Structure 1
Amino acid sequence: MNFSIPVLNRVSKDDFVGFWSSFYGDSDADRVYLDNIDQPLTQERILELFKWKYGGRKMPAKIVESVKKKYQPDSFVPHSPSDYDKVIEFLKKHTTVIWPIFWLHCNNRDKFPIFDRHVYCAMRYLQNGKICNIDELSYSAQREVYLKEYIPFFDEFENDRDFRKVDRALVTFGAWLTTNKEKLITTLK
C-alpha cells in the first residue's frame, strides 16, 4: 500500500493554475456566474451574481434589499484601475470592500478581478510564504492592496486568458491554505 501527503512544490504558473483549478468544486454553482457575467446587467442578473458571490446560499432579505439599492444596472462605475482616483472614490462610498470590488468585476471582469479573503491569502503565500488574513487590514488598506498589489499580481497570469480558471485556482489554493493554516504553520517551521 502506498500513502500520500500533499507537498508544496514550486511550479510554473500554468501548472499552478491547472492543478489548483482542478480542485474547484461546485461547477453547478459556477454555471450561475458564467450564465450572468458578460451579459447586459439587469436587476435579475445582478441579484444572481451576488447570490453566487454569497456562496449560492439564500441571501437574507436585508442583504437582497441592500444589493438592489446599491448596485443598479445604470449606476456609475469606473471602467479601469488606471482611473485610480475614481476607483478609490467609488470604493470609499461603501462600508465594505469585497462586494463593491465584485460590482466592479461584474461591470468589467477583464480589468477588475474578483477579490476576497481566499485570493488575498493565496497571493500573500505565493509572494512571501506567509498565510495572511485580509480581516487584519483596515478597509483603506484592503482597497490599496487590491489596486496596487492584487490587480498587478493577477495580471501576471496574462498568458492564461481564462480569467475564471485563474480565479478558481487562487480561491481554491487560498481556501486550502486558510483551512489548513495551523497544521501548515507547525509543519513548515
Structure 2
Amino acid sequence: MTATIKFPRLSFDWNITPQQFINFWSNFYNYPQEHLYHDNINKGTFSASDVENLFLWKNGMKLSGKKLKALREITRHLDVINRLKADFSLDAFQNVFDKVTTIWKIFLLHITLPQCYPIFDQHVFRAFRFLRYNSLSGSPTEQVYLQEYVLFFDTIVETCGTSRKETDEALMMFGKFLKTPHGGSLCTLQASVSAATIQQAKQDAA
C-alpha cells in the first residue's frame, strides 16, 4: 500500500542566488489591507488621512488609543513631513521626530523617502541578523538601521534587480519563519554545516 503513497521531505538549500531567495520568500507574503500602502506611499504630498492610512497598514490592525495619540502627534507636523518629502534632510527629520519610538520613527522615515529608507521591523531585522551574522540576537535599533541595515537592503536590491517592496516582503517572510522553532534552529544547523565543511577542507588538504 505504501508504494502508492508519496511521502514528502522538507529540505533547505543553502546555495540559491539572492534573486532566488527573494522570489521564493516573497511568494509567501500576505498582509492585510495592502491597498492602504500602495494607494498612498507614492503621493507627492500627504494629507493627514494618507499618513494615518499608512500607519494603519503598518500596524496590521486597528490602532489602540495610545498609538492613535502618538500618530496624531506625528500628523501635527504634516507640513514638516511634506517639506521633507520635497527637500529631505535627516538632521531636520531628527530634530522634529526625535521622540517618536524607533519602529514608528523609521516607518515615518520610510514613507517620507521610500526610495532611500526601507521598512524596518523585528522580522526584517531577524532576517538581516541571520543572513549577515548567522545570529538571531540583537535589538532592532535606529543605529543598526542607519549604519547597517539600509546598506544591506540596498545591496540586495541592486544585486537582484527586484523592487524595494518585493525585497522587503521576502525579508519579512523569512524573518517570520526564523521566529518559528524550526526556523530558529537554522543557526545551529548552519554552524554544523560550516564546521563540517571546514573539517572536510582540512582533511582534503592533509
Same fold (TM over 0.5): yes
Q: How many Å separate the matches in 1 of 2:51 and 2:17?
A: 35
2:16: which partner in 1?
Answer: 11
Structure possessing the higher radius of gyration over alpha carbons = 2
1:27-81 deviation per Cα after TM superposition (whole angstroms, max 9, x unaligned): x5222211111112111111111011111x11112311220112332125866xx
**TM-score, structure 1 as length reference:** 0.82
Single out whichever of 31-40 and 106-115 deviates more from structure 2.
Answer: 31-40
Superposed CA RMSD in Å reads 2.5
In structure 2, relative to structure 1, the CA distance for the partners of 1:105 and 1:48 (3 Å cut) is same
Q: How many Å separate the matches in 2 of 1:78 and 1:10?
A: 42
Query: Residue 117 of structure 1 contacts residue 133 of structure 1 at CA under 8 Å; is this kept in 2?
Result: no
Does structure 1 residue 75 correspond to structure 2 residue 76? no
1:43: which partner in 2?
Answer: 48
In structure 2, relative to structure 1, the CA distance for the partners of 1:84 and 1:118 (3 Å cut) is same
Q: Deviation at 1:185?
A: 5.2
Does structure 1 residue 97 correspond to structure 2 residue 102? yes
Instruction: Within 5 Å, give how 1:61-140 maps onto structure 2.
Output: 61-71=65-75, 72-76=77-81, 85=91, 89=95, 93-134=98-139
SS at structure 2 position matched to 1:74: helix
The structure with the greater share of residues assigned to helix is 2
SS at structure 2 position matched to 1:24: coil
1:1-49 deviation per Cα after TM superposition (whole angstroms, max 9, x unaligned): 13121414232111111000001113x5222211111112111111111
Aligned residue pairs, count: 179
Q: How many Å separate the matches in 2 of 1:78 and 1:148?
A: 21
Which residue type is aligned with residue 25 of structure 2? W
1:138: which partner in 2?
Answer: none
